[in-house]
């Protein structure tokens, strides 16, 4: 009999048991859940709201047309509740964790200086540059090694300092990654 899935390591409290919590409630919907967003539960002792057993760090927030409350679940319960989602909760969580890693590493990254004196950085296939814009600084993002204008976004904002512009560049990078994922997803579905 299948009693649970493992997430992470062998620790019992990381197991999403399929015979505990709301899995025992026959009236609770098992289908029709849609992904909404992620929530970083941080250091608090958060449990998956479906199995009410496994400890969860990055909760998938799922919504349902007929259930008023959202449900915060771990990966394995998210998969079990979204069997029709072939984009896949696993892929989604991997990308989310990857974005978090980019954010955490950002302050440690070293910027270079272009020939014309602008700070720039190459990250995850994108080239991000900071340039003088009026009294402040602007940010431009483009696909690395591709200067034919296929992907270029000028951040409309103006940043007061270079440090602010560097944080703005991080937002633009995360936006670009989200945009690219959406496009790929669109191609898969069509």
Answer for the pair 166, 130: CB distance below 8 angstroms, yes or no: yes
Q: Does 77 bind Zn ion (CB under 5 A)?
A: yes
Q: Which residues pair with 120 in a beta bridge?
A: 112, 129
- Read off φ and ψ for residue 112, nearest 5 degrees: -105, 175
Q: Does 48 bind Zn ion (CB under 5 A)?
A: yes
Answer for the pair 77, 36: CB distance below 8 angstroms, yes or no: no
Q: Which is nearer to Zn ion, 11 or 183 (CB)?
A: 11
Tokens of 127: 């080239």
- Stretch in the footprint of Zn ion (CB under 5 A) among 36-44, 51-59, 116-124, 179-187: 51-59
For CA atoms 104, 108, 109, 113, the dihedral sign is positive
- Residues numbered 3-42 forming contacts with Zn ion, rule: CB under 5 A: 16
- The number of residues making up the chain comes to 190
- Stretch in the footprint of Zn ion (CB under 5 A) among 27-35, 50-58, 123-131, 179-187: 50-58
Q: Does 59 bind Zn ion (CB under 5 A)?
A: no
Q: Which is nearer to Zn ion, 17 or 142 (CB)?
A: 17
Q: Which residues pair with 122 in a beta bridge?
A: 127
Of 15, 54, 123, 173, the residue at the interface with Zn ion (CB under 5 A) is 54
- Which spans of this chain sit near Zn ion (rule: CB under 5 A)? 16, 48, 50-51, 54, 74, 77
């Amino acid at each position: 009999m299948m009693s649970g899935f493992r997430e992470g390591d062998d620790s019992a409290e990381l197991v999403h048991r399929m015979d505990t919590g709301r899995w025992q409630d026959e009236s609770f919907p098992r289908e029709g859940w849609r992904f909404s967003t992620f929530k970083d539960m941080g250091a608090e002792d958060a449990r998956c709201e479906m199995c009410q057993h496994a400890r969860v760090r990055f909760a998938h927030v799922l919504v349902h047309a007929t259930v008023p409350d959202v449900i915060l679940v771990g990966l394995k319960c998210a998969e079990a509740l979204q069997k029709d989602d072939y984009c896949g909760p696993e892929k989604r969580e991997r990308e989310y964790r990857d974005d978090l890693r980019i954010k955490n590493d950002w302050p440690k990254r070293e910027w270079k200086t272009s020939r014309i004196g602008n700070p720039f950085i190459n990250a995850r296939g994108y080239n991000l540059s900071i340039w003088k814009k009026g009294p402040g600084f602007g940010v431009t993002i483009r696909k690395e090694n591709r200067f034919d204008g296929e992907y270029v976004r000028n951040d409309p904002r103006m940043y007061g300092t270079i440090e602010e512009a560097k944080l703005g560049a991080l937002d633009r990078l995360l936006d670009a990654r989200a945009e690219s994922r959406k496009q790929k997803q669109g191609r898969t579905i069509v």
